[in-house]
Structure 1
Amino acid sequence: MTGSTGDFAGRRIVITGGARGLGAAFVTALAEAGARVCFGDVLHDAGAALAQQLAVQGHDVGYLPLDLARPESVSAFVEAASQRMGGIDGLVNNAAITNSGGRLAGELPVQTWDAVLDVNVRGTWLMCVAAQRWLRESGRGAIVNIASDTALWGAPRLLAYVASKGAVIAMTHSLAREFGAEDITVNAIAPGLTEVEATAYVPGDRHAYYLEGRALRRPQTPADVTGPVLFLLSGAARFVTGQLLPVNGGFVMN
Structure 2
Amino acid sequence: MVEGRTILVTGAAHGLGAEIARHLAKNGARLVLADIAEEEGRAIADECGARFISVDLADPASIRAVGRNLAEQHGVLHGLVNNGAIATGIGGIPFEEIDIDSWDRVMQVNVRGTWLMTRAVTPLLKASGSGRIVNVASDTALWGAPRLMSYVASKGALMAMTRSLARELGPNRVGVTAIAPGILTTESTGYVPEARHRLYAEGRAVPGAQGPGEITEIVTFLLGEGALTLTGQTLPVNNGFVFN
Fold equivalence (TM over 0.5): yes
Give, in whole Å, the separation in 2 of the partners of 1:82 and 1:172: 23
Give, in whole Å, the separation in 1 of the partners of 2:201 and 2:136: 21
| Runs of 4+ residues deviating >3 angstroms | none
1:192-226 Cα distance to aligned partner (Å, 9 max, x none): 11011111000111000101100111211011110
Q: Report the counterpart of residue 182 of structure 1 in structure 2.
A: 172
Matched, 1:44 2:62: no
Give, in whole Å, the separation in 2 of the partners of 1:105 and 1:235: 41
> Is this contact kept in 1: 2:75–2:124, CA < 8 A?
no
1:78-122 Cα distance to aligned partner (Å, 9 max, x none): 221343334211000000001421111011110000000000000
Give, in whole Å, the separation in 1 of the partners of 2:99 and 2:118: 28
The letter of the residue matching 1:108 is I
Give aligned-pair identity as a percent: 50
Write out aligned runs for 1:149-228 (5 A).
Answer: 149-228=139-218
The more displaced of 96-105 and 151-160 is: 96-105
The letter of the residue matching 2:62 is S
1:229-254 Cα distance to aligned partner (Å, 9 max, x none): 11111122122200000000100012
Match of 2:113 among 113, 123, 128: 123
Q: Report the counterpart of residue 58 of structure 2 in structure 1.
A: 69
Give, in whole Å, the separation in 1 of the partners of 2:11 and 2:73: 18
Give, in whole Å, the separation in 1 of the partners of 2:14 and 2:90: 20
1:140-187 Cα distance to aligned partner (Å, 9 max, x none): 000000000000011111110000000000010011001111111111
Residues paired across the two proteins, number:
243
Q: Report the counterpart of residue 35 of structure 1 in structure 2.
A: 29
CA-atom RMSD in angstroms: 1.0
Match of 1:245 among 213, 230, 235: 235
Q: Report the counterpart of residue 90 of structure 1 in structure 2.
A: 79
Give, in whole Å, the separation in 1 of the partners of 2:165 and 2:26: 29
Give, in whole Å, the separation in 2 of the partners of 1:133 and 1:150: 32
Counterpart of 1:191 in 2: which secondary structure?
coil
